[in-house]
Amino acid sequence: MSEARYAVGVDVGGTFTDLVALTADGRTLVAKVPSTPGDQSVGVVNGLQDLAGREKLDLPEFLGSCGYLVHGTTVATNIMLEFNGARTGVITTKGFRDIIDIRRNYKETDFDIRLPPPTPIAPRRVRKAVEERVDYAGGVLIPLNEDDVARAVDELKTFDIESVAVCYLFSFLNPSHELRTREIILEIDPTMHVSLSHEVLPRVREFERFSTTLVDAYVTPGLSRYLHQLEDKLRGLNFSGDLFVMAANGGMVSVEQGSRQGVQLVLSGPAGGIVAGVEVGKITGIKDIITIDMGGTSFDTCLISDWTPTVAGDSWLSRYRIAIPTLDIHPIGAGGGSIASVDEAGRLRVGPESAGAIPGPACYGRGGHLPAVTDADVCLGLIGTSSFLGGAMKLDRDAALEAVETHVAKGLGLDVTEAAAGIVRMVNNNMANGIREVSMKRGHDPRDFALVAFGGAGPVHAGRLAEQLGVQTVLIPRGQASVLSAFGDVLSDVRISKARGFYARSSRVDVAELNRLLEATVADAMAEIEGISVEGTRIDVSFEMHYKLQTHEIMVPADAEGGHMTEAGFAATLDRFHDIHERLYTFKKPGQEVELLGIQVDLWGLRTRPSISTGATSSNEDPYVGTRAVYFEELGGFKDDTPVVAGLRLEVGAGIHGPAIVEEPHTTIVVAPSMSLSVTDELVYTLAVEV
Amino acid sequence: MKKQVDAITKQVIADSLEAICREMSRVVERTSVHPLFQELHDYSTGIFYFDGTEVHLVARATALPAHIFGSLLAVRALVEEFAGDINDGDMFLLNDPYYGGSHQADFTMMRAVSLDDRSMIFPSVRAHMSDFGGVVPGGYNPDARDIWQEGYRIPPVRLHEAGELRSDVWNLVLANSRLGDTFEGDMLAIVGGCNVGAREVGRLIEKYEPQGVANGITYILNYAAERFRAEVSRWPDGVYTGERFLDHDSAGNRDLKVAAAVTVDGDRLSIDLSGSSPQSPGYISSVPGTTISNAMLSVCVVLPDDIPPNSGALSQIEVIAPEGSVVNPLAPAPVMFSTTAIGYEVADAVMKAFEGIAPERVGEPGLGFCLCTTFGKDARFDDDLYFTLDFGSSLVSAGGAYGTDGWGAWPASVSALVLANVEMQELQYPLTFDIYEYADNACGAGRWRGVPGFFMQRSVGGQHPAYVNLTEEGDRHPMPGYVGGHAGASSYAILRPGTDRAERITESVAEAELMPGESLLTFKGGGGGWGSPLEREPALVRDDVLDGYVSVEIARDVYGVVLIADSDGKLEVDGQGTEALRSA
Amino acid sequence: MRSDLPYFKNALYTSLLDAHRHLYKVLQSHGLGDRTHLSVDVVNKEGRVEVSSVATELSNARAVVASIQNAVPPLEPGDVVVTNDPYSGSQHLQDHWIVAPVAKGTAAGGYISVHAHLADVGGRNLGNLYPGARDIWQEGVRTTPVRLFRKGELDRDVLELIKLNSRMPLVMENDLREMATTASELASQVGASDPSLLADLRSQSKGVFARPFDGAEGRTTTKRGTIHSCQGSDATVVLETRVENGALVVDLTGSSDQAEPGFFNSTIANTQSFLADVLANRLSGVFSSDVLEALDVRAAEASVLNCSFPLPVGWSPYGPRKVVTSLFQSALRELGIGEDYQVFESDWRPPVHIEGCRETECPF
């Protein structure tokens, strides 16, 4: 490989594939090309071609000098959204083959008994039971009946099954039966993909583990094909650097690892944005932040404490439980596309229905006639009609007004402005309630945090949200808004997460035994990072703990320097558990027995970051590009001459007092009368909110 | 300008109250100790409003409906008992069925937030507590013949006076549970839920002024009332009847009847349960809180999902439950089992009546509960007492509904209950599960069939015997079908299956001793079907045969679907044969 | 009751007896078949029983006051505490203790405690005797120390809790109110009384227990008895009595383990009271803490005469008390300690078969 001059992040979205390249000499290159849903790699290569062109290189030359490439891909996510994964079967413990269908009685509605079941990935006919049983202590109660396994595989083959999830009870404490089952399956059919529950999620709770394993078995074959094709394609184009993919835990993993365990990528979509959000916090020195990502159809929030995003294991996708540790991103059902409606008794509702991208809000002029939040924003002048997507798309304000008039204002007996303002207030209130709920769940008061707002609509609403939450500071990424995820991708570190089941009560924990498990786990993780060029590594160990008889675990950072635990370290970890419990749940019980349910080792492969600057260097052009009428509640209506400022023309250090609108090609910042905006850094705006 | 801001503000306040209920629910979920709360979510949060005259349910979080409608009566009892002596920051507790409770297991914690001179808001949590003294750990005593044999009775009492804990009263309540630490943890959790509710309601009052909050509440109550009346006025006028029987009362009396007459008159709805059986000596008679909750449960299932189930809507329904009957017994009748049986029989009887009103919205609303509690000592953990309420014995009940088969475990209307995992149960209790899955050939047939029946078998591990309290229902009267759908299979339990001491239970057994290694098997018949099985899509019948839920014989005899093997040995529908059979 | 003892002439003691007689007459609860179901006591600030109207519950009175000091905020004038909890000092759940503070700055300080066996506290059986009980909650509800009156105001919540958990709520209410009134009146009476009365009782008491066991120094005797169980296996009581260095040691360590089920277990407070009753009467001593202090009772933890929470104890004041007191009587007689005294009580018999007794001819 010639000298590494570029690091590239590629993020594939539904419409566009975004690319960011950081150059060795500190520049940032950005490209945006249409996504190619049939084969995402086509779009990826097109984008790389675009970047190469900017450097006046041909593609092989450019790729030849790429040190590494980080890919955020939605291939796995799309399989789960479209249900076009592998033909998947299940082999499970006899007597327990319906765990997936019973699904702990989870149903996604309060009273509607007509809600249909989730789309079946593996109906009962392809769930085969075999005789075997491991007990709560990892002992073998019933040995594995190998004939049962062979028979199960033969039966599955009559259904053309190509992927098998092996799900045995307590396999996380004793994996021997699952391991042997894989051997037997591969003896019979070496082409079969096999996911073992103890490898996918070595944790207690069979429903969560089985469901996650089933999803893994379902998505991995397709994802693996895609990643290998992409790698082959890039290698063929002279790429010899490291190729990584973004995982849902907010770190990146090698292609090999990603294609072995696809479930890690299923919820990786928002990860790049969160990594970028952390970077924004780091630039400004603010450690506790809540990110709000408000796009066309979604509003996601993630709580970041001390520059560390919360990681949790309580996600669902397409009604399947995915319990691997993922960034704790909470969808809150409102976005720019959320539709407003008024029912027969005159109640205004915003969402949960969304206009999506097609037909989209009425103002898109793509056939949508129902008023979405974006329409209300356009009615109020918060979003301009000619600056959307950098001017690439003109918005139809008349259509927006008509939609709000017809479907909201009439029903409420209001004029169209009042109705639009009502829609915006309501959606802001719902979002604020959602953020408050998420913070409280983690034991935090949102007022102690700064918001980091991104996504097309995030900065439009962020100031008002902050007001409602009592938050004083909103940070908004500057210049990168349209490619923020790709930007985050290229900044991420390698993160290999390994969990192991370990059950003991605190008074009976054998620290020596614990260390043996830790060492083995660290060794596993180390084996995976081998061959990847990293500048340094860090090992984080955490324990899953709860008080005796509790069933919600807390992830407690453990005092295990380099992956080794001492008696004193264990005592200190127990103390930390009590303290965290108190923060989260208002009380602690230091005298009470604590249960340890599992360990997690996070091996970080740390990379040196190129220094960053933006393409958004300010020019000498006048930032004030005009005025438009914008509605501000506290001014009692429209302010006709609200200044409109081109954000990228502002100098670092410049400040704007509200009321004003600051526009970038891909986003709009609303600065209300009591707020002020300053350019803190080339990469960050700070919106100060009076509370 | 003023007018429109108000309309939106009221809605914003109403939405915020819902959000506060969810926050309270999160606090309870995450701070409680016993799996009944944490894992099973057997608790509910709500916000109540006392306008100086009447108590209203304003908002509730996703939780057990049977809890929160009943809590209305609890808050009402509190207001009556302490009239004029309720102050901001006071926290009250009650569990007594004859004081607005449901059964003693359900503790209702209520905190007072003053709105103005006359009116108050009560954030409230009702939760099923693990143990509260009495003869049997957990309180489900099939032999109970009076209420004192079930557990500690708590009338409305003040636990906190203006925010200050009355520690001796608190300790007195704690002293009447066997599970000291666990119980206290759960009590702290529900207190914490109420405190968070009060704090957030306080913020709302600060922001919108008392009058603003009161306006928001009135708005959402009126809104629900209006939606409710509009919906009812679309239903055909008339008197519709339904009935449902409970197998037995655990005291030797069989076939206890709940009769419901539902009257639709313009935009008014009334439910008269007057034809129901007289109160029974066993522990199944249900107090009005339980009866009304379960009647409302069916109404909520039938109503569109987006009508808020608050007092605005529910106060439009008149429920008549005659005194001295199984649906309104006189003290001191035992009631512990009644929240589910006869509770769900009430819901079923009302639902049956709705067949004539809104057939495409009816279906099973309840659990058809079969009780199984187990207690003993766990040798692994210093012989600690353990106690479990096995929901495995009561899985499953979801019936077919218009457009979907019964699936999962229970219907959506009781999906606030989340089942414990097998692995977690084995870690926490000295029990080993052998079977935990659907049964073959045991679904209530229908155009949309019920969820399949379910087997649970588990054996006692460790060194100590376990004691089992069982009440089986659904042997004589399995889960009903709707609109021509067939009933589910009959339920039963077998103590020590496969041994010469095997004992089949179709009614009750108290403190049955199971020695280490001995097992308990329960079979719960599945949900009933919806519509005639002869109208079921033949391809779906074939799928069911492949999945083992329906046999080839049942396909032919019940569904009128003929299946034949093709040249590869794969089952296919014989279209002509099916048509011939179905038209015969 | 004996009226031939010198301290009977003490006016303070006479007040206690008056109160005792009053309660005996007016309480409506059943089960007051003999004097053992009632006591009136003066307890000082340190928890020392200064004097009791009877000797049957000396250790229990001391234990109840200790629990209250531990569990309830310092009592203020007008406060009245109630408890029935065996693990807070009561002999069994039926016995309700009412404790009122003696006004500060007066002669005695300390407390007046009054206890009586009341009608019903829920649980499995009316009257709270259930041979099959495995734990205390099966016998009835526990009322741990709680203020029934606060600064003279009846606490409605506490009263309602107690009433709601009884099958005979009105009887409970009447009796508790009567006991509270009696205790409060006595508390003000004692507070206002001449301090010398108490000093007189105390010096008489100390006098009796100066060197009472000298004659038996170094001697040992062992008695065995059986507590009958209708649940299957009887419990053995081994009572070894010896005088060591002037102290009277009662060693029960050879007795059976606590039983489950078994409503005949006794708490250590109960066992001490049974023994103190015998000793006080044989020595004609003042019924005070001095009797307890003269006894060195040793019983293994988790044994039938020193049972642990949460075992049931409903039968303790009957079967076990009778066995322990008769063994101890004969031991002291053999050691030549004190004099025999007349016991005016008959075997207590419930009017009906106790539900849960496994014997066809119910022995109780």
Whether residues B60 and B208 fall in one domain: yes
Tell me if residue B510 falls in helix, strand or coil.
strand
Range of the domain at B190: 2-227
DSSP state string for A581-597: HHHHHS---TTS-EEEE
B293 located within any domain: no
Residue B303: its chain A contacts at CB < 8 A?
Answer: 111
Residue A547: its chain B contacts at CB < 8 A?
Answer: 33, 185
Confirm if A574 and A594 have CB atoms less than 8 A apart: yes
- Across the interface, of B8, B16, B427, the residue whose CB is closest to A503 is B427
| Residue in B closest to C158 by C-alpha | B169
> Do B157 and C160 make contact, defined as CB atoms within 8 angstroms?
yes
Instruction: Give the per-residue pLDDT at A566.
Output: 92
Whether residues B554 and B494 fall in one domain: no
Tokens of A399: 């259509």
* Residue B36 in this model has a pLDDT that exceeds 90: no
The CA angle A455-A457-A458, to the nearest 5 degrees, is 65
Q: Using the 8-state DSSP alphabet, how is residue B305 labeled?
A: T
Task: Walk along chain A (691 residues) in steps of 10 and give the mean pLDDT of each run.
Answer: 79 86 86 87 95 94 94 93 96 98 92 95 98 96 98 96 98 96 98 97 94 98 96 96 93 92 92 92 93 82 89 89 91 83 88 79 90 95 84 88 95 92 92 86 87 90 94 92 87 88 87 92 89 85 86 86 90 93 79 89 82 59 91 94 93 92 91 95 92 78
Residue B178: its chain C contacts at CB < 8 A?
Answer: 135, 137, 310
Instruction: Give the per-residue pLDDT at A9.
Output: 94
The C-alpha atoms of residue B389 and residue B37 are separated, in whole angstroms, by 11
Task: Give partners of C (≥3 CB pairs < 8 A).
Answer: B
> Do B175 and C157 make contact, defined as CB atoms within 8 angstroms?
no
Q: Of A395, A382, A531, nearest to A464 (Cα)?
A: A382
Phi, psi at B28, each rounded to 5°: -65, -45
CATH no. of A6-79+224-266: 3.30.420.40
- Across the interface, of B15, B365, B549, the residue whose CB is closest to A113 is B365
Residue C123: its chain B contacts at CB < 8 A?
Answer: 134-135, 148-149
Query: Span B173-180, mean pLDDT?
Result: 93
Amino acid letter, residue A57 = L
Q: Using the 8-state DSSP alphabet, how is residue C88 labeled?
A: G
Residue B158: its chain C contacts at CB < 8 A?
Answer: 157
The CA angle A12-A14-A18, to the nearest 5 degrees, is 35
Nearest CA to CA, how far is C252 from chain B (Å)? 26
> Do B23 and A436 make contact, defined as CB atoms within 8 angstroms?
yes
Instruction: Give the per-residue pLDDT at C79.
Output: 95
The C-alpha atoms of residue C265 and residue C316 are separated, in whole angstroms, by 6
> Do A141 and B8 make contact, defined as CB atoms within 8 angstroms?
no
Question: Angle between the B288-302 and B65-81 helix axes, to the nearest 10 degrees?
Answer: 140
Whether residues B470 and B562 fall in one domain: no
CB atoms within 10 A of CB B404: 18
> Do C137 and B158 make contact, defined as CB atoms within 8 angstroms?
no
> Do B548 and A125 make contact, defined as CB atoms within 8 angstroms?
yes
| Of the residues B227, B246, B274, the one at which a domain ends | B227
Burial of C122 (0-12, 13-18, 19+ CB in 10 A): buried
Domain tally, chain B: 3
CB of B172 less than 8 A from some CB of C: yes
Task: Give partners of B (≥3 CB pairs < 8 A).
Answer: A, C
Q: Domain residue spans in chain A?
A: 6-79+224-266, 85-217, 341-426, 494-606
Whether residues B88 and B170 fall in one domain: yes
Whether residues B509 and B572 fall in one domain: no
Element (H, E) at C249: strand C247-251
The C-alpha atoms of residue B383 and residue A108 are separated, in whole angstroms, by 40
Tell me if residue A144 falls in helix, strand or coil.
coil
Distances (CA, A) of C182 to A302, C28, C99: 65, 15, 10
Which residue out of B168, B178, B387 would a mutagenesis test of the C interface target, given it has the greatest number of C Cβ atoms within 10 Å?
B168
DSSP state string for A61-73: HHHHTEEEEEEE-
> Do A111 and B547 make contact, defined as CB atoms within 8 angstroms?
no
Instruction: Give the per-residue pLDDT at C33.
Output: 57
User: How many contacts does B have with C, using Cβ atoms within 8 A?
Assistant: 72
Which residue out of A103, A104, A106, A111 would a mutagenesis test of the B interface target, given it has the greatest number of B Cβ atoms within 10 Å?
A111
B281 located within any domain: no
Chains A and B touching, counted as 3 or more CB pairs less than 8 Å apart: yes
What confidence tens digit (pLDDT) does each residue in B522-555 have?
999 999 999 999 999 999 999 999 999 999 999 9
Those residues whose C-beta lies under 8 Å from the C-beta of residue B234, and which sit 6 or more positions away, are none
Query: Span B200-227, mean pLDDT?
Result: 94
B197 located within any domain: yes
Whether residues B157 and B13 fall in one domain: yes
User: How many contacts does A have with B, using Cβ atoms within 8 A?
Assistant: 218
Reply yes or no: is the peptide bond before residue B332 cis, omega within 30 of 0.
yes
Distances (CA, A) of B38 to A519, B35, B123, B391, C229: 33, 5, 20, 14, 42
Whether residues B145 and B164 fall in one domain: yes
| Residue in B closest to A583 by C-alpha | B31
Whether residues B551 and B406 fall in one domain: no
CB atoms within 10 A of CB B215: 17
The C-alpha atoms of residue A502 and residue A542 are separated, in whole angstroms, by 12
**CA-based torsion, C281, C285, C287, C290: positive or negative:** negative
Which residue out of B422, B483, B541 would a mutagenesis test of the A interface target, given it has the greatest number of A Cβ atoms within 10 Å?
B422
| Of the residues B186, B206, B227, the one at which a domain ends | B227
CB of B565 less than 8 A from some CB of A: no
The C-alpha atoms of residue C193 and residue C208 are separated, in whole angstroms, by 24
- Across the interface, of A95, A110, A136, the residue whose CB is closest to B412 is A110
Whether residues B66 and B179 fall in one domain: yes
Query: Span B42-55, mean pLDDT?
Result: 92
CB of B465 less than 8 A from some CB of C: no
> Do A104 and B421 make contact, defined as CB atoms within 8 angstroms?
yes
Q: Fold for A494-606, please state it.
A: Dna Ligase; domain 1 (3.30.1490)
Instruction: Give the per-residue pLDDT at A354.
Output: 83
Whether residues B99 and B175 fall in one domain: yes
What confidence tens digit (pLDDT) does each residue in A509-543 have?
899 999 999 999 999 999 888 877 788 899 999 99
Instruction: Give the per-residue pLDDT at B119.
Output: 95
> Do A99 and B19 make contact, defined as CB atoms within 8 angstroms?
no
Instruction: Give the per-residue pLDDT at B5.
Output: 47
Tokens of C107: 């002669």
> Do B404 and A125 make contact, defined as CB atoms within 8 angstroms?
no
What confidence tens digit (pLDDT) does each residue in B470-525 have?
999 999 999 999 999 999 999 999 999 999 999 999 999 988 999 999 999 999 99
> Do C137 and B171 make contact, defined as CB atoms within 8 angstroms?
no
Instruction: Give the per-residue pLDDT at C221.
Output: 97
- Across the interface, of C72, C122, C135, the residue whose CB is closest to B168 is C72
CB of B557 less than 8 A from some CB of A: no
Whether residues B454 and B559 fall in one domain: no
Cα R_g (chain A), whole angstroms = 26
> Do B172 and C158 make contact, defined as CB atoms within 8 angstroms?
yes
| Of the residues B227, B253, B276, the one at which a domain ends | B227
Residue B167: its chain C contacts at CB < 8 A?
Answer: 73
- Counting as low any pLDDT under 50, the low residues of chain C are 1, 107
Tokens of A571: 């005592």
CB of C296 less than 8 A from some CB of B: no
Confirm if B236 and B468 have CB atoms less than 8 A apart: no
Confirm if B66 and B102 have CB atoms less than 8 A apart: yes
Instruction: Give the per-residue pLDDT at A345.
Output: 84
The CA angle B501-B506-B510, to the nearest 5 degrees, is 70
B512 located within any domain: yes
Identify the weakest region by mean pLDDT among A355-369, B82-96, B228-242, B458-472: A355-369
3-state secondary structure A206-265: HHHHHHHHHHHHHHHHHHHHHHHHHHHHHHHCCCCCEEEEECCCCCEEEHHHHHHCCHHH
> What is the distance, to the nearest Å, from the Cα of residue A580 to the centroid of all Cα atoms in its chain?
24
Residues 183-222 of C with CB under 8 A from B: none
The ipTM estimated for the assembled molecules is 0.88
Whether residues B507 and B571 fall in one domain: no
CB of C112 less than 8 A from some CB of B: no
The C-alpha atoms of residue B559 and residue B557 are separated, in whole angstroms, by 6
B289 located within any domain: no
Nearest CA to CA, how far is C125 from chain B (Å)? 8
B517 located within any domain: yes
CB of B149 less than 8 A from some CB of C: yes
